[in-house]
Structure 1
Amino acid sequence: MNATGALGQYGERLAVRRLSQAGMTVIARNWRCGRRGEIDIVARDGDAVVVCEVKTRRAGTFEHPSAGVTPAKADRLRRLAACWLDRHGAPPPGGIRIDLVGVLLPRRGAPVVEHVRGVA
């Protein structure tokens, strides 16, 4: 695994911890829908299914993690959410939501983990 992959996995572990602390239940990680792509985390939040994109960045090196969800990425996440529903049944009573967990790693100190609901 390269440094970028290790950074991404670390961010996903922090995201799972944050979502769990918020009372959500993670039901899948790195779920693939053929060549269409991958959902980083699928979770339940009450009676809703949450498709969660995780963006991890080092402070000062790149843009803020939330800038990583471009309109094209949002469209792709919506298609992946539809693929999840196709393979796992009808939408749950609470529907499906797309969230972002941004992880910012400062040069010093603890990571900053931000959960943004309903980004797409």
Structure 2
Amino acid sequence: MLVLLLGLFLFFAIHSVRMVVPAFRADQLASNPRRWKGIYALVSAVGLGLVVWGWWLFRPVADQLYEPPSWGRHLAMLLVWVAFIMIVASDIHMPAGRIKHWVKHPMLVGVGLWSAGSFAGQW
């Protein structure tokens, strides 16, 4: 759990520099922007790696809060299948068809269905 918390702290700390000490960030960008971006990327990657590693260590001892229903996976597969069709229909290189005519923003609908499908798969 300590590894997970350390990773979360590092990740959020480096992302909070702009809000907490904006003058420090501005000075670093003014002096050498490549160095600051490299440090920022390195600390972010280490923090994210520690979060993943910490979750991997914590997962076997974590309590199971819920058991998803069996029908959730089937609903998720259906919604994601429809979402893929919507996203393909939103392509600007495709001729405008009936899907694009009926659904004014098929990519928005597709992304919404995709997220609903991933939620239904866990539900």
Give the TM-score, by structure 1 length.
0.25
Higher strand share: 1
Higher helix share: 2
Q: Which has the higher contact order (CA 8 A, sep 6+)?
A: 2
Give the TM-score, by structure 2 length.
0.24
